[in-house]
Amino acid sequence: MKKPIRVAVTGAAGNIGYALLFRIASGAVFGPDQPVALNLIEIEPAMKALKGVVMELDDCAFPLLTEVKATCDINEGFKDINWALLVGSVPRKAGMERADLLGINGKIFVGQGEAIARNAAEDVRVLVVGNPCNTNCLIAMHAARKIRDIPTNRWFAMTQLDEARAKAQLAQKAGTSVNKVSNLVIWGNHSPTMYADFYNAKIDGKPVTQAISDHEWLKKEFLPIVGKRGAAIIEARGLSSAASAAHAAIETVRKLVTPTVKGDWFSVGVFSEGDYNVEKGLIYSMPVRTEDGKSWSIVQGLEVNEFSREKLNITQKELMDERDLVKGML
């Protein structure tokens, strides 16, 4: 039997965490022959609800689930973990400025970064889901670095949800199935400024700009639909995205540990080393491939035309502004 992969999930009793845990335990992330152990982390007031989640995990009797630990102590929660899924964060409320949100969540992610550095396994990798996830990831990474050198290539921010939203919209417009859409990259921040690059994307092997002749729709309707999809779901449902966000987190980790389909790539926020003229040091979503499920690389040589460059710069500017707002935590 393989050694279990130990996964920590923060906000484990929340809506996203609840939708996430059972699929990790079932083998949907790491494969049907890979045992997993779960470290579930919550704040003290949510521990009763978390107890119920643990009871449900027990009642599923997942063959691959070797152990479940539930705690509100982050040092205990990150002990010996191989993966950290940082889901829990304070949501933006009415009247709250982005700076306020960054300030509140920044303190949370400083503490989590420090606890990961002190307690996690040597090979730990971290995916930040809680928003603003790019800058929260940057904060946690810098906090960890002050204690231990966890390489920058092990820190990720989730933009897979934006990619999935974009693929669904393109498929619907083209009147085809979503599995025909490939080579779609989300550039930049997980926010309305992100850029769903339809110029490099394909539908059934053809450039999107050939498969969809309505280029005005691509520029003026498609991009806002994807960028504001989260707000539209809140308006319709009365609650933020949960199941789709959990699925995106699962897909992000699965794609990082599984070789990428030849010729394709996927989107994830990573530490910028200056590729595509993106300022070094930001957590910026890029087109990524993995060959062996252990290491990843940024896909090089994609065309960035004048329209796309403007969009890349806009989302970069937002990330730079966010970085400036939290510079005291870096």
Catalytic residue positions, numbered: 190
Q: Are 314 and 282 in contact (CB under 8 A)?
A: no
Residue 216 in tokens: 């005005």
Alpha-carbon torsion (147, 8, 284, 94), positive or negative? negative
Q: How many angstroms separate the CA atoms of 198 and 174, rounded?
A: 13
Question: What's 1's DSSP letter?
Answer: -
Distant-in-sequence, close-in-space partners of 23: CB < 8 Å, separation ≥ 6: 29, 246, 250
Closest by Cα among 102, 187, 186 to 137: 102
> HSE on the CB side for 326, CA within 13 Å?
32
Residue type, 148: R
Element (H, E) at 308: helix 306-325
Outline where DSSP puts E strands in 274-318: 283-290, 296-298
Altogether, the residues listed in the chain come to a count of 330
Alpha helices in 29-132, H assignment, sequence order = 47-60, 74-77, 98-119
